Amino acid sequence: MVKENPRFSEFNVSIKKGKDNIQFLVVGELEKKIPIYSIRDLAHHKLIAQAVADEVPMVVYGGVWAVFKGVKRRSEGAGFFKVAKPGRPPESKVPMVCRPEDTQSFIDWSHVHPDFRHLRRRENFTKLWATHGAPLHLVAPIRSSLSSLPEEFKTSPEEFNARYPDAQAISCATAAFYWREDPYWRHFATLTSRYTHTQTYLGVSSFNPHGEEPPYTFGELVEQVKIGRIPFELIVCDHIYENSRAFGSHTQMRLPLVGEEPKFSVLRLGSFSPQGFGKATGFEWKLASENVKDVRKNLGENLDGELYLMSDRIRCRYKTEKPLVCCRKP
């Protein structure tokens, strides 16, 4: 496992170009070269997917820098997130990056409010993301038979109620699933599934000690490297997202359960507004409590316009690409 360097004096950091135009972030004193890939370069997807299959820890960009790692079934690999995100409370579990059609297989629909069970149909469920293209975490009840799912991804009802003491209490286990309907991410996720020869879960969490501000730009990430915070071996950039300046972590919504009001429950306010979600999907929502945390860089800033413009730009760019793998359309 990669550990943080205990030295706190600043390291000398530079960017150098290697073969095939791959850039490296070089930490001189450590003689460490960290590859820099781009999610907007399909040629890099194969390299990133191979690293995911090998459980290589990395950081990826999506409005905020986040630690990202493939974790194999019944693996201890998710322990990496305890090192990468020090101070994280035990009840705060790791979200998974998951295509909507894969997420459906985790959900225990018997716990979901009857008015929302039509989301069991793939074409209905994918619209939770496809109608707007913005990033979104969905918290959903999970099946008790998921014995191979590492505990770092499962939230017991006791843990959920401890994490959200002001929200309505629940009585079933849940997990958080992150996705954004982005053709490059769909291509990458599809390619990754070809390289992982066993069930592999993609864990993701903002790159910051618990309670502190994460880095929002590449320059801020480099500053973290300079002080020795390097629990990763690979960097995945997204210049289109960073240039959009839609800085922030992401909104979390929970599916309504049996006996609850038939509305999505907003657990966290992030880059995509609940109002934007409601307008795009037609679903009603409510704040889980009066104390819902805002995780945008600039609190209260509406970033929906930036996210929509970015999504349009990405879709237009992807039309000019030659995919390495066929992807199922959402």
pLDDT in tens, 222-269: 999 999 999 999 999 999 999 999 999 999 999 999 999 999 999 999
Instruction: For 174-203, write each residue's pLDDT tens digit.
Output: 999 999 999 999 999 999 999 987 889 999
Give the ranges where 1-84 is alpha helix by DSSP (H). 42-53, 80-84
Distance, in Å, from the CA atom of 164 to the CA atom of 75, rounded to the nearest integer, reads 28
CATH homologous superfamily of 13-318 = DHBP synthase (3.90.870.10)
Instruction: For 29-83, write each residue's pLDDT tens digit.
Output: 998 999 999 999 999 999 999 999 999 999 999 999 999 999 988 666 567 888 8
**C-alpha Rg value of the chain to the nearest Å:** 19
Distance, in Å, from the CA atom of 24 to the CA atom of 52, rounded to the nearest integer, reads 18
- The pLDDT of residue 78 is 60
Beta-sheet pairing, 65-72 with 200-206:
antiparallel
SS3 139: strand
Amino acid found at 171: S
Residue 216 CB partners (closer than 8 Å, separation 6+): 63, 64, 65, 247, 248, 297
Length of the chain: 330
Q: How many CA atoms lie less than 13 Å away from 214 in the CB half-sphere?
A: 25
Pick from 232, 327, 324: nearest CA to 43:
324
Burial class of 23 by CB neighbour count within 10 A (0 to 12, 13 to 18, 19+): middle
Q: What are the boundaries of each domain within the chain?
A: 13-318
Token pair 């609940």 is found at 274
- The pLDDT of residue 75 is 64
Beta-sheet pairing, 174-179 with 136-141:
antiparallel
For the segment 94-108, the average pLDDT, to the nearest whole number, is: 96
Distance, in Å, from the CA atom of 40 to the CA atom of 320, rounded to the nearest integer, reads 12
Average pLDDT, the chain: 93
Residue 20 near residue 38, CB atoms below 8 Å: no
Distance, in Å, from the CA atom of 251 to the CA atom of 230, rounded to the nearest integer, reads 27
Amino acid found at 260: E
Helix (H) / strand (E) element for 310: namely helix 304-318
* DSSP, res 93: P
Residue with the bigger pLDDT between 294 and 83: it is 294
- The pLDDT of residue 2 is 41
Q: How many CA atoms lie less than 13 Å away from 204 in the CB half-sphere?
A: 22
